[in-house]
């Protein structure tokens, strides 16, 4: 059996220093009715990464994903537009950056999606634990989607090596 340790579960399994960085996205309609259709992604970083960055990214043909905040060591997922000011502030900052978003319509019954990104100060851990069939793959933080393809290919290669006859 090969075990692939990933995500926040690594905190309990192998490394207590893994912690969540909470973020949230807002989904708005991008169908050309309330706002002009936006076809390009926009991202602005800032010196204060905890609250200063924003992104506006088309998702499919009729949605936009808006975001930008990162809160270390926050586990609560029960936050939204109605009960959490940083989410409203994210929307405000997106509108300041792109004023046409001021007329945007939130999408559906669940327009806010909250997630926990597993982070570790040492960066990503992707390694085969010697003498075992355990492959560690965690600590990606907010770059999980960006790094997932390369890390997945690396895990496959290491699984093949672990299963290969000696």
Quick check: 51 and 85 in contact, CB under 8 A?
Answer: no
Quick check: 18 and 149 in contact, CB under 8 A?
Answer: no
4 has a pLDDT exceeding 60:
no
17 has a pLDDT exceeding 90:
no
Q: Convert the pLDDT of each residue in 21-43 to its tens digit.
A: 999 999 999 999 999 999 999 99
Give pLDDT, residue 3. 53
Mean pLDDT of the chain: 87
Give pLDDT, residue 1. 45
Domains along the chain? 3-16+120-163 (no CATH), 21-117 (3.30.9.10)
CA dihedral 118, 95, 64, 39 (to 10 degrees): -120
For residues 65 and 106, give the distance between their C-alpha atoms in angstroms, rounded to a whole number.
Answer: 10
Q: Could you tell me the sign of the dihedral formed by the alpha carbons of 76, 81, 86, 87, in that order? A: positive
Give pLDDT, residue 2. 53
Give pLDDT, residue 28. 97
Q: Convert the pLDDT of each residue in 71-99 to its tens digit.
A: 999 999 999 999 999 999 999 999 999 99
6 has a pLDDT exceeding 70:
no
Q: Convert the pLDDT of each residue in 94-120 to its tens digit.
A: 999 999 999 999 998 889 999 998 898
């Amino acid at each position: 059996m090969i075990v692939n340790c990933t995500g926040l579960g690594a905190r309990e399994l192998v490394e207590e220093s893994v912690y969540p960085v909470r973020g949230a996205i807002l989904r708005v309609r991008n169908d050309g009715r309330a706002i002009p259709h936006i076809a390009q992604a926009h991202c602005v970083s800032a010196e204060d990464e905890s609250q200063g960055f924003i992104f506006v990214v088309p998702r499919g043909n009729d949605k936009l994903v808006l975001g930008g905040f990162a809160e270390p060591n926050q586990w609560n997922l029960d936050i939204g537009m109605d009960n959490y000011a940083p989410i409203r502030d994210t929307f405000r900052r997106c509108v300041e950056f792109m004023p046409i978003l001021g007329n945007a319509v939130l999408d559906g019954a669940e327009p806010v999606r909250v997630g926990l990104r597993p982070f570790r100060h040492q960066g990503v851990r992707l390694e085969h634990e010697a003498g075992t069939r355990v492959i560690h793959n965690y600590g990606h933080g907010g770059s999980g989607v960006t790094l997932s393809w390369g890390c997945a290919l690396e895990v496959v290669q290491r699984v093949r090596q672990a299963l290969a006859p000696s």
